[in-house]
Structure 1
Amino acid sequence: MLEVTDLRCEYWHNPIGIGERHPRLSWRLQSDKRAVSQKAYELEVAEDEQFTIPCWKSGKVDSAQSVHVELSNFEAVSCKRYYYRVRVWDQEGECSEWSETSYWEMGKLEGDAWDGQWIAAPLSLIPEDSTQLPLLRRDFRLEAAVKEARVYATSLGLYELEMNGQRVGDRYFTPGWTSYTHTIQTQTFDVTRMLKQGNNAMGAWLGNGWYKGNLGWQGGRNIYGSRLALLLELHVVYEDGRKEIIGTDSSWMAAPGPILMSELYHGETYDARLEIPAWSTGDDENGGWQAAEVIDHGYDMLKPQINEPVRAIETIRPVQVVTTPEGDTVLDFGQNLVGWVRFRVAGPAGTLVTLQHAEVLDADGNFYTENLRTAKQTISYTLKGEGTETYAPRFTFQGFRYVRLAGFPEPIDMEAFEAVVLHTDMEETGTFRCSEPLVNQLQSNIRWGLKGNFLDIPTDCPQRDERLGWTGDAQMFIRTAAFLSNTAPFFTKWLSDLAHDQREDGAVPFVVPNILGDSFGSAAWGDAAVICPWTVYVSYGDGRILERQYESMKQWVSYIQAQGEQEFLWNTGFHFGDWLGLDAKSGDYVGATERDIIASAYYAYSVDLLQKTAVVLGKEDDARKYADLRSNVVKAFREEFVTPAGRLAASTQTAHVLAIFFNLLDEPAEKRAAAKLHRLLEESKFHLTTGFVGTPYISHALSKHGMHEAAYKLLLQQDFPSWLYPVTKGATTIWEHWDGIKEDGSFWSSDMNSFNHYAYGAIGDWLYRTVAGIQTVEASPGYKHMVIAPIPGPGLTWAEGSINTMYGPVRSFWRLEEADGLMQVEVTIPPNATAEVRLPGTTDPASITEGGGVPLSQAAGILSISAGEEDVVVQAGSGEYSFQYKYRLQVS
């Protein structure tokens, strides 16, 4: 039976508050048959759930497209809900029933007028330099029964809303961090059930956040502005059809709140004695309120939120209470995480309790905070003395595993504490498991690195006085992130800010949003402008991000073109190089690979991806121009960095990795470079000397030349330096340094030693694409057509990878029985997709059975079979397959 399921608008199920005037719709097919594909579809859009009078119809469209279908000649209107449904025809002409009805709802679109005004607490009440945070409120009356109601809101700083004493929505850190001079996001909340006929009240907490608070290790403040402000509209539709809008204006009131200090890095200070009871219910009788002040800030930068919000995703209880040698009482949550601690406490009014957060204990078992630099990560709470009190912060987050307690009554009740994990609420899509428990823990560490550092922007680390959107880290990890979670909306938002913060000459800042001033233009960092949109396109089939980022991509390449002293090379300017490479000179953060080699290699890579982008977008002239440019860059690279005999004029692992992975050498020279890379690994006894630039690609470079055994050796090393060394030291996230904690328990350094730094987690990409073998195809992106080519290797007896794509679940599993050499490969391909399945270890199709004994040639869903040099290649349609055969070829 053919069904249409999982309808989405712009990646989401039934979203409200989107900002796309031309939304795209996607759906999945479900069938009990194999090799099912869509041949046609029909879409209907209406303003009512019954489709009484559809406002848009596609008619029957002969197309296999089921992902990112843009509604032609349809433009959505602000604040309106639209319902849609779809039916499809398969390759045999069978028509499905109409899908279940789904909907999307528009936010206040960019450029639309606002009735609400920006309001702030008067300076006479809370001066600009005060650390105390304000509350804003308004009472109002609704004269009739409410049919539906929405709040459209944003702020300068952070905000949290309450309606009749209840928190509005489940989002945190709204409106999010953007390049505020260009974009301030607005949020939409459904508050229908929170309102009542008669008297009502609404209020807002405001916080410093990224807008006004402390940002960066240089101690910057007020980077975007010095006053917190709120902008809000409540839209009410009554049962009788009348409409009313209540916006922020001078009728709102302001008062100092109980938050005395709140900073992202430093934590929060809260005095419960200063709470104003019932302040957002309309029953407040406190007389300390003053009229809010209307301020002029403008509306041009307002846009509905692009990415998923930050939410409280899960909670974790402490696993033990530790008394350190120095006498501190410390909670151990067993996992390095990002969020805050919610706690219960009872005691006399005025009692002060504090929680200080840290990632690790030192070699002696004492609480360690030196690697936080100036970040205090401290929560201070003063009790009001009214029985058991519960508290969690609002406008700060901490990176921690351990929490030092002070002021709490003894003995400590672990049940009174729970860690609340916060991050951008991306859909988890990928899993990886294998027969080696240490690799499974590595995979867990990679996932927790993503959780901790994807809090509205892709940060480098979540604990010290930094937490910035470093462009290099983001581009190194994005492919792995795209397996683990649906990161498309997340990077769409961040890349929009990258383009806004890009300099006029095309230079890309080191961090986005840029708060570091004139810090632009490093190779491998600025290349995020090209690598990231291309990765989103390949992973999700999202052509719109290429359209929107194309000028930014071109500008970055134009910037590079203007830099080199020699035409077609990049050999000038500042570069981070192979950051934290272990082959660096003593005391230097930059690895031994010459920076002009790295810069010129990335030059070629970005031009290559830009040329492919031009082809995708149908820009033929640009495609020819950039093809010629890449050819010239590669030619110049070879003339400058490759000897006439074909030897790369550099002796580092990273130089050889980049030359191989970026296809910068001719075939003989590349084979020679691969052999040299293998010798370099032999010299290091198969340990890494690479830093941020070489590490993401080294395993791919080896596998490209069939050196799978070497790649597996690198993966499974357990001593320093290796991916598994931190795992053996108890790591639950990815470290910034291979030896963040040394064998003797001492630390690599105190000033730059994060224990939650995702860059080296890029090995996850190789685990998915090579060990599990799940690969996208550039000509058919987003897993419309894919390659599933698992590569077994020494040290593993089985591995499994899966990813929930836009078409549905994709799975690859292999198990090799060492005793009898029996290989089992299981594959899942979603409907309306196809795969090239490469079965390793045999070249004899007749030896393979499928589904419990059926000869491969007779298996349903198999489109073609051929024998390769080291495998059997099967073209397959959708379905679940199980292949069995004798594994006869040795992997080397």
Structure 2
Amino acid sequence: TLSHSEVLDKRGNFYTDNLRSASAEDTYYLRGTGQDEALEPHFTFHGFRYLRIDAYPGAPKPEDFTAVALYSDMPATGSFSCSDPLINQLQSNIQWGQKGNFLDVPTDCPQRDERLGWTGDAEVFSSTAAFNRNTNSFFAKWLRDLAADQGPDGAVPFVVPSMPFTSGKNLTGAAGWSDAATVIPWDLYALFGDRRTLAVQYPSMKAWVKYIQDRSRNDLWDTGFQFGDWLAYDLDDDNAGRSAVTSHALIAQCFWAHSTQIMLDAATVLGKTDDVATYTALLQRIKAAYLREYVTPGGALMSNTQTAYVLALHFDMLPENLRAQAADRLALNVADYDNHLTTGFLGTPYLCQVLSRFGHADVAYKLLLQKTYPSWLYPVTMGATTVWERWNSMRPDSTFAPPSMTSFNHYAYGAIGHWLYTTVAGLNVGAPGYRTFTVRPQLGGGFTQATAALETVYGATRAHWQTSGDQLALDVTVPPNATATVYLPTTNPGSVREGNRRLDANKGLQAGPAQDGYLPVQVGSGQYHFTTEWAPKATAALAPR
């Protein structure tokens, strides 16, 4: 009998309580002939890290056992590495979490009595997943399943394929989960240039946004069940109000706006001019209602949480004159928690993106490099090889969170990968499919180098930077028929060289005026080696409240 487990307890014992009702056992009856037999299950799979063997004839030998990684055939396309070994382990955990869960459907976890295609997990991770592997066909097929399970009213179930436990319980149509209907088709279009899937899914996308609108009141989506910012930072007996509880209605309003913006963009791409006008007007009403209901005249939000400010800023819910102060409030909140995140499934994917976008990249790096709970590196320091469901699935004393919902292979928080690729390494899509792209690394965190490489539909792209003292080297690869804008972190064109030539002497390169501390250079297909003088930007310190 072979039993499977993700972890050992603090005494080194085999731990299976978190598998709930799943036995995770394979029992074989030998022929008894004394001849060698090769045993392999054909009708099941297991999520595990440890194997227990009972009733084995003779002394087990490790070389007699092979663990086979089973996942859908998705070619590896992207890679990331940097000078910090813990971040490299985090990247490995993100990739293994994807492989362990992308088996025909994007399951939330591969080990316990569940293994369901939860829409929320897939939605927040889809852009990271598409960098690691070519998920275009994988998600295109699953989106067909989503549309097939969609209700006649446009409701999207929480798991796809749908399961009986959602029937008759109004367990459909939640912000951030059901928005997989709009978010993932748009991600496939942006990252793979897949206009066909966007067109095929458009009726499903449209039906989902109509579902929200039909249940709104005064342009506010404040009805029905919501998960909210699932598994955000929470404390027992929280008399001091330190738990990061964000209004479910506020979250729902932000995601309604997000899906509506996607519909506006998709209608533009597909030439549906009437829908463009409809969604433009709807988006204005949604944002006006948000400001009226959830924002004070001074720009504070009804929920003073990291997730509330992250969603407001990432989805452009605030007018431009209120955005800088909102970003400052977010940075102060992070400082108030001693440079720890407090976000859950819906706030975490965008947290570092927002901080970087609004001038707080130093805070984003502090969060990335934080090693104590709650943080991305805390599980790494505890020996994790995949991404956990909870920030503290294992506590610092090596005891476990409640086994009713503690998975050690849950990829949602691995969505930080998107920020690693696009901001730390600086490789970011422009026109669909990377026909145009930007290379704009935000250096920080004490890193001395970072690399992101990606096999796009146009060919191989790569961005690699390395510092040595006050010198920066930036290598860029642009595939055929593609162009890129390289942003060099300097305002002095005279200090820049490409190869052995000064930038101003290279007639094939066009440099624009410096902006926000960067010098933009337009480049065509080819390989480039830029060098320049570099110095970190001074950043004002933010004191906690």
* TM-score where L is the length of structure 1: 0.59
Counterparts of 1:450-849 in structure 2 under 5 Å? 450-515=98-163, 516-518=165-167, 519-564=171-216, 566-583=217-234, 592-777=245-430, 780-817=431-468, 820-840=469-489, 842-849=490-497
Assess if the C-alpha contact under 8 Å between 2:465 and 2:472 holds in 1. yes
| Corresponding residue number in structure 2 for 1:233 | none
Name the aligned partner's letter for residue 456 of structure 2. Answer: T
Q: In the TM superposition, what is the alpha-carbon distance from 1:859 to its structure 2 partner?
A: 3.4
Report if the CA contact (8 A) 2:511-2:519 is conserved: no
Question: What residue in structure 2 maps to residue 408 of structure 1?
Answer: 56
Q: Residue 424 of structure 1 aligns to a residue in which SS?
A: coil
- Cα drift, residue 846 of structure 1: 1.6
Q: Are 1:377 and 2:24 counterparts?
A: yes
Q: 1:586 to 1:733 in 2, by over 3 A?
A: farther
Q: Distance in 2 between matches of 1:390 and 1:464?
A: 26
Deviations, residues 451-480 of structure 1 (Å, cap 9, x unaligned): 000000000000000000000000000010
Q: What's the secondary structure of 2:486's corresponding residue?
A: strand
Partner-residue secondary structure (3-state), 1:576: coil
Deviations 1:808-842 (A, max 9, x none): 1111111111xx311011111101000011011x1
Provide the C-alpha distance between the structure 2 equivalents of 1:466 and 1:426, rounded to a whole number of angstroms. 23
What is the CA-CA distance between 1:559 and the residue it aligns to?
A: 0.4
Larger C-alpha radius of gyration, 1 or 2?
1
CA distance in 2, matches of 1:714, 1:888: 22
Helix, strand or coil at the partner of 2:532:
strand
1:396 maps to 44
Contact in 2 for aligned 1:866/1:874 (Cα 8 Å): no
1:870 matched to 2:517? The reply is yes
Amino acid at match of 2:55: G
Task: Return the alpha-carbon distance in structure 2 between the equivalents of residues 370 and 611 of structure 1.
Answer: 47
Partner Cα separation in structure 2 for residue 365 and residue 849 of structure 1: 56
Q: How far apart are residue 667 of structure 1 and its match?
A: 1.5
Asked if the contact 2:124–2:349 (Cα under 8 Å) also holds between the matched residues in 1, the reply is yes
Per the TM alignment, residue 644 of structure 1 is displaced from its structure 2 partner at its CA by 1.6
CA contact (8 A) 2:108 2:116 kept: yes
| More RCO (CA 8 Å, sep 6+) | 2
Cα deviation, residue 749, structure 1: 1.1
Contact 1:646 1:668 in 2 (8 A): no
Q: Residue type of the partner of 2:437? A: M
> Shift of the alpha carbon at 1:522?
0.8
DSSP-derived class of the 1:622 partner: helix
Q: Aligned with 1:751: secondary structure?
A: helix
SS at match of 1:770: helix
2:527 to 871, 876, 880: 880
1:751, distance to aligned residue in structure 2 (A) = 1.1
Q: How does 1:227-376 map to 2 (within 5 A)?
A: 354-376=1-23
Determine the C-alpha separation between the residues in 2 that align with 1:583 and 1:552: 35
For residue 869 of structure 1, report the CA deviation from its aligned partner. 3.1
Contact 1:857 1:865 in 2 (8 A): no
Aligned pairs for 1:30-45 within 5 A: none
Deviations 1:333-352 (Å, cap 9, x if unpaired)?
Answer: xxxxxxxxxxxxxxxxxxxx
Distance in 2 of aligned mates of 1:888 and 1:681: 26
Alignment match, 1:65: none
Question: In the alignment, is the contact (CA less than 8 A) between 1:434 and 1:798 conserved in 2?
Answer: yes
Cα 1:543/1:891, change in 2 over 3 Å? farther
Query: 2:157 & 2:348 partners in 1: Cα distance?
Result: 22
Structure 1 residues 510 and 891: CA distance shift in structure 2, 3 A: farther
The Cα offsets for residues 339-367 of structure 1, whole Å up to 9 and x where unpaired, read as xxxxxxxxxxxxxxx10000000011100
SS in 2 for 1:786: strand
CA distance in structure 2 between the partners assigned to 1:420 and 1:468 by the alignment: 21
Q: Contact (CA 8 Å) 1:647, 1:669: kept in 2 or not? A: no
Query: Which runs of 5 or more residues in structure 2 are unaligned?
Result: 540-545
Report if aligned partners of 1:460, 1:467 keep a CA contact under 8 Å in 2: yes
How far has the Cα of 1:591 moved from its partner?
Answer: 5.5
Mapped to 2, the partners of 1:787 and 1:814 lie a distance apart of 14
CA offset at residue 585 of structure 1? Answer: 6.2
Give the distance between the partners of 1:725 and 1:523, measured in 2 at CA: 28
How much has 1:407 moved relative to structure 2?
Answer: 1.3
Q: CA contact under 8 A between 1:863 and 1:877: conserved in structure 2?
A: no
Shift of residue 796, structure 1, vs aligned partner = 0.9
Normalized per residue, which structure has more helix? 2
Find the aligned partners of 2:201 and 2:236 in 1 and give their Cα distance: 38
Deviant stretches of 4+, over 6 Å: none
CA distance in 1, matches of 2:536, 2:492: 11
User: Secondary structure at 1:746's aligned position in 2?
Assistant: coil
* Structure-1 separation of matches of 2:260 and 2:496: 43
State the Cα distance separating 1:562 from its structure 2 match: 1.1
Superposition map of 1:195-214 within 5 A: none
Task: Provide Cα deviations, 1:839-875, integer angstroms capped at 9, x if missing partner.
Answer: 11x1111210111x21113336424443223011001
The answer to whether the 8 A contact 2:229-2:246 is kept is: yes
